[in-house]
Amino acid sequence: MFKFFRAMFKTPRRSRMATLEAGVKAPDFTLPTMTGETFSLSKALEKGPVLLAFFKISCPVCQFAMPYIERMYQASKGKPVTVIAVSQDDQRATLAFLKEYRITMPVALDDTKSYPASNAYGLTTVPTFFLINPEGDIGIASGGWFREEQEQFYRALAGGGEYFQANERIPDLKYG
């Protein structure tokens, strides 16, 4: 699994609509989670690669994408990786979203007044995804839904297998 992941970081992928580019150092942040704990990027990177999935509950592309990110989270359980969503909504609204879309992955809450994590990453759209290597560099930065990049995230974090089912009609892209 890490052989693919390491190879991917040798040639950083240019981001599509995400303000921070691949190849730059990911800004560290600490946010509260839905469970009342805290999420620290630097602490998570001690375990291995991290996929950050920024979303807003009112975003139709986020509503489409987050169940697939949940699938990635489930497939990566037990591996030395972290998949975490970062909500740009308050806890109550986020909880309703998580229940509606059956999301069980860890979710951090960006402060809805100052958006410290979203601003640190220069977000201009959601969903936005950042795959960060254990050294803290961004390997892939992606704004919106790009099937190819989602498949790369899945291979890097879940270690293989099929991400999409044969009967699913998955678009190549959806802009956030």
Q: For residue 68, what pLDDT is reported?
A: 95
User: Is pLDDT at 26 greater than 90 in this prediction?
Assistant: yes
> According to the model, what pLDDT value does residue 173 have?
80
Using CA atoms of 86, 89, 90, 93 in order, give the dihedral in degrees to the nearest 10.
Answer: -110
DSSP secondary structure, 108-146, as one string: EE--TTT-HHHHHTT--SSSEEEEE-TTSBEEEEEESEE
Range of the domain at 128: 2-21+48-160
The whole model's pTM is what? 0.87
In a domain, 92, yes or no: yes
- Asked if the structure places residue 165 within a domain, the reply is no
Say which residue, 102 or 14, is predicted with more confidence: 102
Task: Please indicate, yes or no, if residue 73 is contained in any of the structural domains.
Answer: yes
Q: How far apart are CA 43 and CA 10, in angstroms?
A: 23
pLDDT score of 160 more than 90: no
Does position 12 have pLDDT exceeding 70, yes or no?
A: no
Of the chain, the percentage scoring pLDDT greater than 90 comes to 68
**Per-residue model confidence (pLDDT) at position 67:** 96
The domain tally of the chain equals 1
Within-domain flag for 16: yes
CA distance 72 to 77: 9
Residue 60 has pLDDT above 60, yes or no: yes
The token duo for 150 is: 């989602």
52, 86 Cβ separation under 8 angstroms: yes
Average pLDDT over residues 35-58: 97
CATH number reported for the structural domain that contains residue 103 in this entry: 3.40.30.10
- Is 171 a member of any domain? no
Residue 172, domain member (yes or no):
no
CB atoms under 10 Å from CB of 160, counted, come to 10
Q: Is the pLDDT of residue 145 over 60?
A: yes
- Asked, for residue 86, whether it belongs to a domain, the answer is yes
Mean pLDDT of the chain: 89
Confidence of residue 164 (pLDDT cuts 50, 70, 90): confident
Polymer length of the chain: 176
Across the range 27-49, mean pLDDT stands at 97
